[in-house]
Structure 1
Amino acid sequence: MSVQTDPTPLVILDVQDAIDQPVWNGKNNPNYVTVIQRLLAHWRQKNWPVVHIKHNEPTTTSTYYSHGPWNGIKAEVEPLAGETIIAKKQNSAFVGTHLDEVLKGMSATRFVLTGVVIHNSMDATVRVGKALGYTIILPSDATTAVPVRGLEGRSWDAATVYDLTLAILDGEYAHVTTSDEVLGWI
């Protein structure tokens, strides 16, 4: 990856209080929020574009329910005045939102994607973003996974889900790297 001379937007996806509820227990990479904070501080210091994606789930039983007690963006990554906030109702941040228009308005051809969880909304956002022609930079330490149970009852731990999802996305859909490498390029 080459050194970037134009500001690349930092996208923070679904980092809301909802992710700390018991249904999301078992996460790997517990320091992902600290990593996002570090990237966010760098972007803010450079006065580069930051986009917060907030999931407003219409299903009342979801921890991300739009009117539920845990729908707020986590205090650790709270948007500042002037930072873009986009609400979504689907798994991909591009579906039913104006994210594509916002990025095009920034003349962005690539973006750095952080957030939760890698095998759900992160994966969906990466795939749609790639289909729209974006280069997606995915720092692996700025995301997490949770355990997954299959239809036949087989379970996969969060680390396995995380590793497999990142391996699938790397190369064809995104450039999987680390936050240290991102900060070294930008």
Structure 2
Amino acid sequence: MKALLVIDMEQGFLATKRPPRNNLQAEKKIQQLLSAFRQKHESIIHIQHVSLDPSSAFYYPQGYAFMTDFSPLEDEIVFQKQVNSAFIGTDLADYLKKQKINELILVGLTLPHCVSTTARMAGNLGFRTTVISDATASYALQDVNGHWLDAETIHQCHLAALNEEFAQIMTTEQFLNYFASSNNQL
């Protein structure tokens, strides 16, 4: 069985000033995937970052509240985490095993942080993992020498690092074509 993991689609990303971001269509792509999974009555799991750090945008309820149109439906489960990985400090792995879910499709924010960390752990835990490249996004980051690395470079580097070692990488279109034509595992 498969599940869509929707990671950190929270107001805190909208409420704070951030460096430039790539993939401004990520939210639209995530909505397409949510719709497809809901239509097929496939599992959807929402991951919510509730920080323990008072200086974090995700510490206060208005920051960790879900973005408009990303609130879970009544039958969709939510796991709250305090760190980057959705598996640390949660019962996610046990839940997946009990539900016989062995295939995870990851989307959300941000790729170099919570999406990548969760994908790496999912792969290491033996889950068949797919990251949807255009249903996640990255922000520009400073390197250790204080130079800014653009968001698209960051994004592509993380996809390259995940590809075929921790996860398979697909676009929304590729995944939806597969999903529409098959109930088989990837």
TM over 0.5: same fold?
Answer: yes
Q: How does 1:115-134 map to 2 (within 5 A)?
A: 115-134=108-127
Paired position in structure 1 for 2:72: 79
| Paired position in structure 1 for 2:182 | none
What is the CA-CA distance between 1:68 and the residue it aligns to? 4.2
Kindly state the Cα deviation for residue 73 of structure 1 after the two structures are TM-superposed.
0.9
Superposition misfits of 4+ residues, deviation over 6 angstroms: none
What is the root-mean-square deviation in Å for CA atoms of aligned residues? 1.1
Any conservation in 2 of the 1:16–1:73 contact (CA below 8 Å)?
yes
Do structure 1's residue 51 and structure 2's residue 30 form an aligned pair? Answer: no
Contact in 1 for aligned 2:16/2:57 (Cα 8 Å): no
Which one of 157, 160, 183 corresponds to residue 167 of structure 1? 160
User: Per-residue deviation at 1:62?
Assistant: 0.6
- Aligned to 1:173, the other structure's residue is in SS state coil
| Equivalent runs, 1:84-163 vs 2, <5 Å | 84-163=77-156
Cα distance in 1 for partners of 2:17, 2:143 equals 16
Using the size of structure 2 for normalisation, the TM-score is 0.92
Quote how far apart the aligned CAs of 1:133 are.
0.5
User: Is the contact between residue 19 and residue 141 of structure 2 (CA under 8 Å) also seen in structure 1?
Assistant: no
Q: Which is richer in strand?
A: 2
Decide whether the 8 Å contact of 1:33 with 1:76 is kept in 2. Answer: no
Structure 2 gaps of 5+ residues are: 180-186
Q: Work out which of the residue numbers 11, 14, 21 in structure 1 matches 2:15.
A: 21
Structure 1 residues not aligned, in runs of 5+: 1-6
Q: TM-score, normalised by structure 1?
A: 0.92
1:109-138 CA-to-partner distances (Å, cap 9, x unmatched) read 111000011101111101111111011111
Q: 8 Å contact 2:132–2:169 — kept in the other structure?
A: yes
Q: Is the counterpart of residue 10 in structure 1 residue 4 in structure 2? A: yes
| Count of aligned pairs | 179
Identity value in percent: 28
